[in-house]
Amino acid sequence: MANSYFTPADLPYAQDALAPVISADTIAFHYGKHLQAYINNLNAALPGSGFEGKSLEEIVRTSEGGIFNNAGQVLNHTLYFTQFKAAGKESEPKGALAAAIARDFGSFESFKAEFQKKGAGLFGSGWVWLSSDAEGKLHITQESNAGNPVCRGLNPLLTFDVWEHAYYLDYQNRRPDHLAALWQIIDWDVVESRYEK
């Protein structure tokens, strides 16, 4: 019998709701196949590992090797897939997060430019992250492969997946175009709630 310690977070939108920024086909493979494989691999590796019963974040912070890679990818994709809203009117951060972005990056536009540049410039597979530290200061970091800012003691707020599986069906080699389009579907209420935690 398969273990089911972890299961995929429900998508807060229909599989075709992010199109044309992210197609239903990409969601079907990325959420339905890639994320599910990371979950299956993690669940299969947990028995007898010493990590059974621990939270996903604690596993990511304290594990290494195959357990870290799969747990990291489960945490990363959970934060990624739950930060989007149906394509439509592009929104902007409000409140405390908007003020922190202006303080730490100069403006929302310069934050977006820096975030896209770090995502486009990440060599190979990985993630670009916006995180906050214990003082509420914001940081943009590049993480290779399954990396997550919780390993640096940061609170992850927003992420763009730059693994090719995240965009190749829709954008082929045009990673920068994919990253530039993602702003249209960011649910800033979700990102803001992560910042206020």
Convert residues 102-141 into a mask of x (bound to Mn ion by CB under 5 A) and - (unbound). Answer: ----------------------------------------
Long-range pairs of 107-112 with CB within 8 A, sequence gap ≥ 24: 111/140, 112/183
Nearer of residues 94 and 174 to Mn ion, judged by Cβ:
174
- Closest residue by Cα to residue 87 from 30, 14, 25: 14
Q: Which of 51, 163, 167, 195 binds Mn ion (CB under 5 A)?
A: 163
Smallest distance from the beta carbon of 73 to Mn ion, in angstroms? 7
Nearer of residues 113 and 169 to Mn ion, judged by Cβ:
169
Smallest distance from the beta carbon of 161 to Mn ion, in angstroms? 4
Cα 67 from chain centre:
18
Chain position carrying tokens 């190749």: 168
Contacts of 21 (CB under 8 A, 6+ apart): 87, 181, 182, 184, 185
The letter for the amino acid at 182 is: L
The count of residues interacting with Mn ion (CB under 5 A) is 3
Length of the chain: 197
Convert residues 142-161 into a mask of x (bound to Mn ion by CB under 5 A) and - (unbound). Answer: -------------------x
Among residue numbers 30 through 69, which ones bind Mn ion (CB under 5 A)? none
Beta pairing, strands 155-161 & 138-144: unpaired
Which region among 96-104, 148-156, 165-173, 178-186 touches Mn ion (by CB under 5 A)? 165-173
Q: Which residues bind Mn ion (CB under 5 A)?
A: 161, 163, 166
